[in-house]
Amino acid sequence: MRVKEIRDRLHEIVFEADTPLGKLFDVVLLVLILFSILIVSLESVSSIREAYGNWFLAIEWALTFLFTLEYFLRIWLVDKPSGYIFSFFGIVDLLSVIPTYLTLFAINTTPLIVFRSLRLIRVFRIFKLWRYLGEGEQMRKALYASRAKITVFITVVLTVALIVGTLMYLIEGPQHGFTSIPRGVYWSIVTMTTVGYGDIAPSTEIGQSLAAFLMILGYGIIAVPTGIVTLEYSRASKPSTQVCKSCSKEGHDEDAKYCKYCGAML
């Protein structure tokens, strides 16, 4: 088998999920990602780290080695490596392995604190779940299509919060905690979103009536953005898992034969 045929076959397995081997690769990768996140979580517990620190270190380097191989394999499989390297997932893949290697260059114990915080970047490997679920592109399209409606909705909510916050400042006054209009707006936002911290509360009957109205309004407001996004989400077409070898872009239609971004054959 020629090298080009091998690369094409491996590209189909690594970057796509239309074949059994491609799905198996994604499942194995997903398990490794979840296992890596579990190790990071357990390692943050001091008692567990003291008891199993050496094991965590060995597992960490083994996983880093596997993810490094995967990273360079993806670079080798695409026609234009820069397209993958500077893509979102390419940067995430690189950031997921760099922190472990950085610990090799520590001269004293002080930089280890910085390296320890950088190692938390490994958590971003979970973004690869988008490849496995195959729904990220639909959600992105739905949010983008809803941007105008969502903007209008947020503007209305902020306007209501401003009006009610101003009224509460006039009704309750500083003696009841509403020391300024921004403070009143803060209370109205917290109340309208049904969070209700309780650090500020109206004491007059008029203020309590206005608060009750705002609370009920908050429950109705919650359903609005959900309905907007759901409607657009139902209209969005389901993309295939094909990835262009030339530009490393995803999100093509299921029947697409050419990349809609650069025109290369899929």
How many Cα atoms are found within 13 Å in the side-chain-facing hemisphere of 206? 8
Average pLDDT, stretch 73-84? Answer: 89
Is residue 239 one of the residues assigned to a domain? no
- At residue 45, the pLDDT reads 85
Indicate which CATH number applies to the domain containing 67: 1.20.120.350
pTM > 0.85: no
Is residue 243 one of the residues assigned to a domain? no
Q: How far is CA 158 from CA 61, 138, 245, in A?
A: 49, 28, 45
Considering its fold, how many domains does the chain have in total? 2
Q: How far is CA 30 from CA 88, 125, 186, in A?
A: 18, 9, 41
19 and 85 within one domain: yes
Indicate which CATH number applies to the domain containing 181: 1.10.287.70
97 and 18 within one domain: yes
**Span 194-238, pLDDT tens digits:** 888 888 899 999 999 999 999 998 888 877 777 776 776 666 555
Q: By C-alpha distance, which of 65, 41, 54 is closest to 126?
A: 41
- At residue 223, the pLDDT reads 76
Do 229 and 146 contact (CB within 8 A), yes or no?
yes
94 and 23 within one domain: yes
67 and 18 within one domain: yes
Cα distance between residue 234 and residue 138, in whole Å: 9
121 and 64 within one domain: yes
197 and 86 within one domain: no
Cα distance between residue 178 and residue 158, in whole Å: 18
**Span 128-151, pLDDT tens digits:** 555 555 556 667 777 777 788 888
93 and 15 within one domain: yes
What domain range includes position 160?
Answer: 147-228
- At residue 205, the pLDDT reads 93
79 and 14 within one domain: yes
More confident call, 256 vs 169: 169
Dihedral sign, CA of 19, 24, 27, 29?
negative
**Span 179-196, pLDDT tens digits:** 999 999 999 999 988 888
Q: By C-alpha distance, which of 136, 134, 135 is closest to 23?
A: 134
66 and 15 within one domain: yes
76 and 23 within one domain: yes
- Here the tokens at position 233 are 């989400």
Alpha carbon 214 to chain centroid distance? Answer: 31
96 and 29 within one domain: yes
Is residue 187 one of the residues assigned to a domain? yes
Share above pLDDT 70 across residues of the chain, in percent, rounded to a whole number:
79
98 and 218 within one domain: no
